[in-house]
Amino acid sequence: MQGDFRFSPLENGLEFLLSSLEHLTAASSLATTSAIPATENAWNQKRHLKYALLHLCSSIEVLFKVRLKQEHWSLVFANVNKADNAAQDDGEFESVSFNDLMDRLVRICKIDLSEEQRRQLANLRIRRNRMEHYGAVDSLLAVTASVSTMVSFTVDFVEGAFTSDVLEQERRLINNIRGKLGACSAFVEQRWKEIRNDVDGFNSVIECPTCQQPALEVDAGSVKCRFCYHTATPQEAAHEYIIRVLGHESRYTVEKDGGRWPLSACPECGADTLVTKGVDLEAFCFNCGQHWAGSELSRCLDCNELYVVDGEEILICDDCFQARMKKD
């Protein structure tokens, strides 16, 4: 009779990571396979994409918790004050939420997570939740780009967050992961070779909310990503960008904390598809494709809409200025 197996949390996290890449590689290979009947091919490809995403999210959460537990075992409890060794051994406790998990890694473990990385992690979990619970539509190109980026981040996290003696036990797994990642990265690079000239020649290009590649083209009410073929109406694209790229959960959560929902009427075309980012009001319109630097826009004191600053700033837009003149 064989002995018991020991499932190390670090090994589990890395195995999930490797599995994610294996599924992604399988999905990519099916895209060029013609020997399998179309219906069966599509079913298999969809299944591989599903598990590539699910296993990546599981991997990141497990590896984050392993690093947190390395600092102190109680930190994986949602309420550290109720941490109990016996409950941990049994697995019967409420573990830390993902947002608190990231916060503790930064504050306590001194892990460097940039705002961009936190946004990408949040977007990955949103993609997973939409697919798992709400029947979202996704594509091979979009999932490949997203998963490849986040696997690369996760491998770098592992290499930086754990000591060499700890990692040496899992070196075989890490080497396998890097080998698989190279194949997926090559897939993304090849796609960019195919579209680079088109993207460089287009007037208005911005980061796609679906694949997160800077290949979303906007022109006269038409919105399409050259990388993953995602299409949307200007209104849909603006909303997706605010949620997935800027990382705002909803209009309610922004405004209840005293913030401003970053969507306004465009000074150029008048459509409610102008998205602003940052305190300097850098803006992009998802209807006409017009882009403004922060110094080029100001918010009117009368109507509260954005207007283009032309020469000396008078703090109100032209329409409100004319209305005041007529009133006087």
Tens digits of residue pLDDT in 78-92: 998 888 888 777 777
**Minimum mean pLDDT range among 183-197, 215-229, 257-271:** 183-197
Write the DSSP symbol of residue 94: P
pTM here is: 0.69
Count other Cβ atoms within 10 Å, centred on residue 301.
11
Burial class (CB in 10 A: 0-12, 13-18, 19+), 269: middle
Residue 271's pLDDT band, with cuts at 50, 70 and 90, is very high
CA distance 279 to 326: 33
Per-residue pLDDT tens digits for 46-67: 888 889 999 999 999 999 999 9
Residue type, 263: L
Per-residue pLDDT tens digits for 121-144: 988 888 888 888 777 677 778 888
Q: Tell whether the model's pLDDT for residue 33 goes beyond 50.
A: yes
- Residue 6 Rama label (left phi>0; alpha psi -120 to 50; beta): beta
CA distance 323 to 224: 39
The pLDDT of residue 169 is 81
**Minimum mean pLDDT range among 69-83, 203-217, 231-245:** 203-217
- The pLDDT > 70 percentage for the chain reads 93
Count other Cβ atoms within 10 Å, centred on residue 52.
28
